[in-house]
Amino acid sequence: MHGNATALSAFDGDMSPQAAQGLFVDDERLLSRLQVLLGDESASPVAATARGARAEFFGAVRGLGDPGADPTVEIRRSRLLYAATMVEDITVVNRSAHEVDTTLLVRLAADGAPIADVKSGAVGAPAVRPWVDAGRVVFETGRHRTTAGFEPPADALDLHEEGAVARFDVAVPPGRSRTIRVTVAARRTRSTEFDADPGSDGVRWDSVHVEADDARLRSLVEHSLDDLRHLLLRDPQEPEDVFAAAGSPWYLTLFGRDSLWAARMMLPFGTELAAGTLRAHARRQGSAEDDRRAEQPGKIAHEVRRTAYDASLSGLALPPLYFGTVDATALWVTLLVEAWRWGLPEVEVRELLPNLTAALGWITGPGQPDADGFLKYLDSTGHGLANQGWKDSKDSMRMRDGRIARAPIALVEAQGYAVQALLGAADLLEALAEPGADRARAEAAVLAQRLREAFWVDGGPRLGRYLAMALDGDGRRVDGLGSNMGHLLGSGALTSQEAALVARAVTGSELLDDFGVRTLGRDNGGFNPIGYHTGSVWTHDSAIIALGLAREGFSSEAVRVARALLASGEAFGYRWPELYAGEPMLGRPAPYPASCRPQAWAAASAGALLTVALGLRADVPAGLLHVAPPTPGPFGALRLSGLRVGDAVVQISANRAGEVGVTGLPDGMRVVGSA
C-alpha cells in the first residue's frame, strides 16, 4: 500500500472480486481482477512477502519445463505502488534444459465497487467494459479513469464485457528469463473535498535504527515504520501536513483516535506527524450542533471520508464528516501536550490554543450531557455508531454474565482520557502563562473522584477489585472484565493502590496470554476469542497497556506485555494485524479475518515497545529526558539511534544491567533516570 492506494491479492499475487481483492484507490476498486497464466496454467504459489509499498510473489509452473519432481519454470512477480500507480514486473524464469515457448496471459477487470460494499461482502458488481487507447486498456469507473499499459506491447488485446486479456508470446531459452511490465495508473475524473494524496515523505524516520540482543525487535521496528510511513496521507486543505490513515484496505482516511494514538506513540521519532495530525483535526473541529453528524462545538471528529459511507448490510450510514466519538477530543488535547513535551515549537503550540480551549469546553460541557458529570454517548440517528469508544462494535459492552449494556454509555477509559487531558492542559497553559490552568486541574480532580466512586467492581477472591468497562444507561456498572481499564494506567486518574489493582487485573490469566491482552476475559459471558471486541487481542490496546504499566512503575508487568507483543509480531511476519484471536491455535495467534494489515496504531505500537524498553519520557520545555529502562529489559541490551528530542537526533544505549548511555542531546538538556 501507499497512501490512498492498496493492492490486495491472494498469496500467488492474483486478484479476484469474489475474495474482496483488487487495486483500491480513494476507496474505489479500480481493478477487480488481475490474473496471470502461463499457457493455460496458474503458477503454484511458493512464497510471498509484502512490506510498505512493495510485494513479491514466487510461483512454480508444473506443466512446463523438464519432467520430474523439481519445477524448472518459475514466475516471479514484483509489485510496487506509488501514489495511484501500480507497476508489476512479471518474470518467467526457465531453469529447464530446453527452450520454453508458450503464451503469457494477463486478465484484467474493473467494477468500481465502493470499499464499503467490498468490506460488507457484497460481490457481483457488474464489470466495466474497457476500451483500447494506444495499446493500453482503459477502464472508466465512478471517479477514476484507469489505464493498463504493457512493456513490451502485448501481442494481442482481447476485450469483452467482463474485462480484457493481454496475450504475450513468450520464448525463453534455457537459463534465461523474460519480463513483462504491467503499469496500472489511475487518474481522478471527479474530485471530493477529501481526496488525500500520499504523505510518506512528510516524516524524518530514515535515521531510526535499532540493535538489540533479541534480533526480532529490529525486524519488527523496521517493518512497522516502513508500513506506517506508507499509511501517511496529506491533508487536502494543507498538503504540508501529514497524518496516518487508520488502516489498509478499509480505512485509508483520517480517523480520530487512530491517527491521534499513532502520532502519540511515534513522538520519540519527531513531532512532524503529531503536528500534522493535530492541525488536520483542528481544521475540522466541531463548531455547531448537528445531530446528523453528531457534531458539537469543540468536538474532534471521528472520521473524514471522501463520500458518505453507506454499509447497507450493517445498517451503518455516515456522512463524510462524522463526529460520533466520545474519546477523540481528549486524545487530541493529550497529543498536543505530549508533542509540546517532545519539542513541538512553542509558536506551533500557541497557534492551536484556540482549538485547545474549544476542546476543553467540550470535555467539561457538552461531552458531559447528564448531571452525573461523566462523558458519555448515545447515537440518536439510528444509523450511526452504537458504541463510540475504541470498542465501537454493537456487542462490545458486556456485563459479566454476557448481557449487552444499554445506552447511553459512560466508558471508563473516556473518563481517564479526560482526566489526563485536563491535567496536561493545565501544565501547558501554566507554562505558557495562559489562563485556565487552575480550572482544568479542578475539573480533573472532580472527574477522577467521580470515577473512583462509581466504577469499581468487587470480583471476589479470584479477581479482586477491578474497574468496570462502563456505566450503562441506568448508571449500573458494566462489570465485564475488559481491557479498557488498562488505558487508565499512567493517566493520573488513579491512586497508586488503585493502579496496582488494575495492573493485577490486566495481566492476570483471564486477560493476558502469550500474545497480548484480550479485550474481554475468557471466563466472561459472551467471550469469543475471534469476536471483534469480545475476546480478541488488539495490538494497540496491548501497547497502550504496556505504556501505562511502565509509566506507573510496574516494570515486570510491562515487560511481560511487551514480550507478548514481540512474539505476536514475529508470528505475523513483523506486520501486525489490527487484531487477532485471543486464544492461540497450535501455539500461534490467528488473525481476525477482516482486520486491517497494516494498520496505523498497530504499526505505531513498535514505538511504544521502544518507549517501554527504555523507560522514555521527554520534557523539552523543562530540559529533561527521562530514561529508565526496566531490569531485566524485555529485549536484552538495546541501542536506539534516531531518537528526536526537539530538533536534535539522539542515540541511547542500555545494557543488560540497565546502565544507560545518551549522546546527541541539545545544549541545556539533561538525562534523569526516573520518570
Average pLDDT, the chain: 95
Contacts of 31 (CB under 8 A, 6+ apart): 15, 22, 23, 86, 108, 109, 110, 139, 146, 184
Judge whether residue 674 has pLDDT over 70: no
Please tell me the predicted confidence (pLDDT) of residue 594: 86
Task: Please report the DSSP string for 523-557 in residue order.
Answer: TSTT--TTSTTTT-EEHHHHHHHHHHHHHTT-HHH
pLDDT digits (tens, 9 = 90+) for 24-33: 999 999 999 9
pLDDT digits (tens, 9 = 90+) for 252-311: 999 999 999 999 999 999 999 999 999 999 999 999 999 999 999 999 999 999 988 887
Judge whether residue 46 has pLDDT over 50: yes
Question: What single letter denotes the amino acid at residue 548?
Answer: G
Judge whether residue 57 has pLDDT over 70: yes
pLDDT digits (tens, 9 = 90+) for 86-121: 999 999 999 999 999 999 999 999 999 998 888 887
Contact 25, 113 (CB under 8 A): no
User: From CA 453, how far away is CA 468, in angstroms rounded?
Assistant: 12
Please tell me the predicted confidence (pLDDT) of residue 117: 86
Q: Which residue has the higher pLDDT, 132 or 127?
A: 132
Please tell me the predicted confidence (pLDDT) of residue 313: 64
Please tell me the predicted confidence (pLDDT) of residue 315: 77
For the chain, which residues make up each domain, given as ranges? 5-188, 200-612
Please tell me the predicted confidence (pLDDT) of residue 596: 93
Please tell me the predicted confidence (pLDDT) of residue 499: 98
What fold characterizes domain 200-612?
Answer: Glycosyltransferase (1.50.10)
Element (H, E) at 7: strand 5-8
How does residue 312 score in pLDDT terms, banded at 50, 70 and 90?
low
Please tell me the predicted confidence (pLDDT) of residue 531: 95
Judge whether residue 316 has pLDDT over 90: no
pLDDT digits (tens, 9 = 90+) for 146-177: 999 999 999 999 999 889 999 999 999 999 99
pLDDT digits (tens, 9 = 90+) for 193-250: 899 999 999 999 999 999 999 999 999 999 999 999 999 999 999 999 999 999 999 9
Judge whether residue 466 has pLDDT over 90: yes
DSSP assignment letter at 491: T
pLDDT digits (tens, 9 = 90+) for 356-412: 999 999 999 999 999 999 999 999 999 999 999 999 999 999 999 999 999 999 999
Judge whether residue 129 has pLDDT over 60: yes
Mean pLDDT for the stretch of residues 607-619: 98
* Alpha carbon 17 to chain centroid, angstroms: 25
CATH architecture under which domain 5-188 falls: Distorted Sandwich (2.70)
Q: Calculate ∠ Cα 442-448-454, nearest 5°.
A: 135
Q: How far is CA 418 from CA 170, 376, 429, in A?
A: 64, 11, 16
Of the candidates 379, 372, 266, the residue with the CA atom closest to the CA atom of residue 318: 379
Of the candidates 22, 21, 26, 19, the residue with the CA atom closest to the CA atom of residue 5: 26
Question: What's the order of all strands across the beta sheet hosting 660-663?
Answer: 209-212, 638-645, 648-654, 660-663
Mean pLDDT for the stretch of residues 628-654: 96
DSSP E strands in 437-595: the ranges are 456-458, 465-467, 470-471, 477-478, 512-513, 516-517, 537-538, 579-580
Judge whether residue 333 has pLDDT over 60: yes
User: From CA 587, how far away is CA 455, in angstroms rounded?
Assistant: 35
Q: Specify the pTM.
A: 0.96
DSSP E strands in 134-281: the ranges are 136-140, 144-151, 156-160, 163-172, 177-188, 209-212, 232-235, 238-244, 254-255
How does residue 675 score in pLDDT terms, banded at 50, 70 and 90?
very low
